[in-house]
Amino acid sequence: MKKVNFIYIGLDKSGSTWLHKQMQVHPNIFVPKEKDLYFFDQFYHRGIDWYNKYFTSSQPKVHSAIGEICHNYIWSYEAPKRMKEYNKDMKLLLVLRNPYEIFESKIKYGLQKGEYSSNKIESNEIVKQSIDEIFISDNIKKYFKYFKKDEILILLFDDLKSDPKQFLSEIYDFLDVPLIVDKQLMNKRINKTKTYRFYFLNKISFRVARLIRLLGFNSIINFARNNFLINKLLFSKKKKKIDFNPTELDKLYPMFNKEIEKMSILINKDLNRWNKHFKDL
């Protein structure tokens, strides 16, 4: 079996599900049905045979690009070294998004999972936890320790929103495969953050999902994610506006803008347009 030769390492809420669906229809790309295998971080102890079973259907003569989509790898300290040891020719994909947008998206996702029973976010601890999962510049440096800059394609979520075909073209050029797209998906928004119907039901369902993943039944997670009836039961189309504590938000502006400056220098791209207040989102 041909080794995995590319991995999407992050970020979440930055088009990873859309990209996964596009790759599934490409004749020269193989990705498993399941996203987020977490092998190189959480489940490395399960061994390479466990990982390889997700790629046994790949055909080396047909699939020149074999990979996986796992948006949490960017946060792992162990993953970069393990990936490089697994395949010295590994290519990585990283999509960056405005930290202000990710912050708001993560709070909404926390509401979706039932982590908070109210949409009024006043807890400094909630804000701090979300920030710890957003500021990424130090994690990018960690990957540069093991991978050359031309081995990591770094794109912006802004580019996906403005020109999805060009965004996909850059990825496929990087993977050395022709540009073949699913036109029906091209401008479709996938995996939007939803609003829960029943707080306790959603809280329980996400905890059950976490247990199922720990037991290694990723296919069940994949089924539930795409099942219309399950989504209808758990989620509502109504949107909940997040009510942030303005005093807490005022403290965040300098921190966020400093992180944007660090990222801009690190990837050598002008990100000044990201310097905005939450009221502008």
Pairing state between β 195-196 and 235-236: antiparallel
Band (pLDDT 50/70/90 cuts) for residue 148 is: very high
Whether residue 279 is predicted with pLDDT greater than 60 in this model: the reply is: no
Q: Percentage of residues in the chain with pLDDT exceeding 90? A: 50
pLDDT of residue 252: 78
* Secondary structure element (H or E) that encloses residue 196, with its range: strand 195-196
Band (pLDDT 50/70/90 cuts) for residue 4 is: very high
- Mind listing the pLDDT tens digit for each residue in 121-141? 555 555 666 677 788 899 999
In the chain the domains, ranked by start, together with CATH numbers, are 6-280 (3.40.50.300)
Using CA atoms, how far residue 139 sits from 46, 144, 174, in Å, is 24, 9, 22
Higher pLDDT, 40 or 201: 40
- Mind listing the pLDDT tens digit for each residue in 31-51? 999 899 999 999 999 999 999
Average pLDDT over residues 240-266: 78
Higher pLDDT, 202 or 76: 76
pLDDT of residue 92: 98
CA distance 8 to 95: 8
Question: Concatenated DSSP letters for 152-191?
Answer: EEEEEHHHHHH-HHHHHHHHHHHTT------TTTTT---S
pLDDT of residue 163: 93
| Tokens representing residue 110 in the block | 């926390």
Of 67, 116, 97, 85, the residue nearest 159 (C-alpha): 97
Average pLDDT over residues 162-169: 95
